Structure 1
């Protein structure tokens, strides 16, 4: 068969090499488990992170070599008058609900009953010590302007960071990170730091746009620590216009969620809004558990907690009282028309991130993905459909030279997906074999 030349656009290019150089002391591939703030908000007796060393050892046994956390830099090193709180932080979660249980009890990430105290300085050091023992590196980030302070019993943490003027927040974050890096270095853990993120999902946090001061602070922190990868993350980077992403970032740590059928359900039941008239609507009521209280009966958490988080009261109520079987059935039944769209969206967004990283000559990472935010006991992402989408995302990332990737945002000790042991081991082995 004769091959015809049909133009340069028909020639395939191998893009599997890393998008940018990785420091020699770090793994040449990262397989990441997302522990966020849960490593200290779900650390009470019997909770997933009660025994921190055991949790790290368990992650290593599943093949992970990186843990991504909220390191709470503003609380620990922000010089905001919170030192006593950082040494003795009372964790409450969203608080007790009037009919028993607690707000967020069946809501993913917010299912923190609280009732214990933690020395976060000591705990951070213990995490790094455990990571060293089990040959794991740490991706440092902050969720403080997104939700972390909402889990505290006292509003002091939130009020202190909220009092920082909007235009000063990136500078205060960078200064706190600078002090934390110095402290970790003095503890002998500098080479355990994989990445420092100025903040998680700057586009979905109580922060200005990254180009309004954030990029300059990333550049300043990079200049002070040229041996470290310093960046900030986007929850939804501008995939169709990646030239808008500031060039100052030392790594392309962006997130890839393809809501697709999940977004269709969320819009149908109006679960992510706040203050909707007539909530819960008829479509949501059809999916609620039989024992669900009314919105008025369920009440609300303390008002300051809603100001400290980007999650709404409607979502807390809905996810706490949704029937997960009915939820999953709706998603599975309505998935087929969305399948092609979701697979294409995961691939195109992942490729755009990798291409930006290659253009800038920096390592690229998908630190969160792949479907979206679901109730705690919903199994759509854990099931065959969600796992297939996750595998598609992971393999696309590897094919295009991503340095690091999550198996799923839900693959962590505080989610039911952690029990899919063989699946995690097999996919982690595939990542590390590249």
Structure 2
């Protein structure tokens, strides 16, 4: 049985700050003032945040990060550019930061406010897409796919060393080699015969072993998108915690499939989208793209061009109405999936004798200004998920992925206080 270190909270009420805490630090951005962001989080009942700590960039890339330029996807300041209405991607202000100094500022602020940190990496999924040049992306992809998780494990150990030098290692609750390991560029070079969770097992075990050889005292959790119920045999045997993201989708899956949001743009049903989802005057999908000199950013991210287009140009109320109109047919299945996935994840953690937490969830990826997950249906799902997390004895959970400073839901204070209070009091 892996015990939770005694200096950490018995339960983690988490808010998901991902890579936003460093890419959105410009004037008027949600993380312009880290102390203010932490103070608000604590006021809302959170005692933990989960972030991309950019470990590869800082400790293994060889890139000078003392003047790291970060910017919107298209490089243009403002609120109307490419990705500007896409949740997590709507960066407005270019900034230049000293990345290691900013990391220290973040951990010092977390320590001041009594907040624990789960340190992950989104670097093989999204983070480098916000850099001003492709050096970070290129350095990541220069690493042989078989070695990427080992290098990430070493980078996370470097991170702990660095924080320890500054008296901050106690702020870390857990490290993850990477976010959602089976979704993104970490699967490159796999045979593709079995599920990626199974085929990634050896790589993940090597990465966790590399970290544990240097910091066996720090919990290390593989992190999975969804709960891969058909391939849990591929979970690393040396994990000391487990992290899952139970996005149940359901009715949202129907919208993604019917409008081809994750297929090539050439197959996009423009006329139907105009009639059912988009704002008047939306450009044609072929007209909405990054400038050629920024096209590498789509490879640095896992977002599909059609999904970015619809999120940028939909009428959020029409998008929500589409989901509400069809939700009834999915309601029971979505509720059952949420319950079953949380049960399965917790049961597998008990079999391994390790803590489990839910770092993201619950419906899925919706436009920034959509309110389906914040509205009455989504809020009910949040309450159910938190109740399930309490029931199975999860170490940590979230209100939902959208409950963070970079999303409109941050202003929905009542539901956050309610859910965090319910989880922490259990």
TM-score normalised by the chain length of structure 2: 0.93
1:204 aligned onto 2:196: no
1:285 is aligned, of 274, 294, 302, to 274
Question: 1:217–1:300: structure 2 CA closer, same or farther, 3 Å change rule?
Answer: same
1:383 aligned onto 2:372: no
Contact 2:86 2:308 in 1 (8 A): yes
1:142 aligned onto 2:121: yes
Larger Rg: 1
> C-alpha distance in 2, partners of 1:41/1:355?
37
1:81 is aligned, of 62, 69, 72, to 62
171-180 vs 381-390, which deviates more?
A: 171-180
> C-alpha distance in 1, partners of 2:29/2:153?
32
When the two structures are aligned, how many residues end up with a matched partner?
A: 412
Contact 1:99 1:298 in 2 (8 A): no
- Aligned ranges for residues 173-252 of structure 1 at < 5 Å? 173-208=152-187, 209-252=199-242
> C-alpha distance in 2, partners of 1:395/1:316?
33
DSSP 3-state at the match of 2:26: coil
- Aligned ranges for residues 71-110 of structure 1 at < 5 Å? 71-78=53-60, 80-82=61-63, 84=64, 86-96=65-75, 101-110=80-89
1:366 aligned onto 2:355: no
DSSP 3-state at the match of 1:195: strand
DSSP 3-state at the match of 1:67: strand
> C-alpha distance in 1, partners of 2:11/2:285?
46
1:397 aligned onto 2:386: no
> C-alpha distance in 2, partners of 1:31/1:181?
22
Shift of 1:21: 2.6
242-251 vs 62-71, which deviates more?
A: 242-251
Structure 1 unmatched ranges of 5 or more: 1-18
Q: CA RMSD in A?
A: 1.7
Contact 2:77 2:94 in 1 (8 A): no
Q: Which residue in 2 is equivalent to 1:300?
A: 290
Instruction: Name segments (4+ residues, structure 1) moved above 6 Å.
Output: 97-100
Q: Which residue in 2 is equivalent to 1:430?
A: 422
Shift of 1:288: 0.5
> C-alpha distance in 2, partners of 1:236/1:297?
33
Question: 1:98–1:45: structure 2 CA closer, same or farther, 3 Å change rule?
Answer: closer
> C-alpha distance in 1, partners of 2:338/2:296?
36
Shift of 1:24: 0.6
> C-alpha distance in 2, partners of 1:428/1:74?
32
1:42 aligned onto 2:54: no
> C-alpha distance in 1, partners of 2:77/2:100?
33
2:250 is aligned, of 260, 263, 275, to 260
Q: Which residue in 2 is equivalent to 1:26?
A: 8
> C-alpha distance in 2, partners of 1:330/1:221?
46
1:357 is aligned, of 340, 349, 364, to 349
**Greater RCO, CA 8 A, separation 6+:** 1
Shift of 1:160: 0.9
Question: 1:300–1:98: structure 2 CA closer, same or farther, 3 Å change rule?
Answer: farther
Contact 2:200 2:234 in 1 (8 A): no
Q: Which residue in 1 is equivalent to 2:330?
A: 338
1:64 is aligned, of 46, 49, 62, to 46
Contact 1:69 1:142 in 2 (8 A): yes
> C-alpha distance in 2, partners of 1:97/1:138?
32
Structure 2 unmatched ranges of 5 or more: 188-198
Q: Which residue in 2 is equivalent to 1:16?
A: none
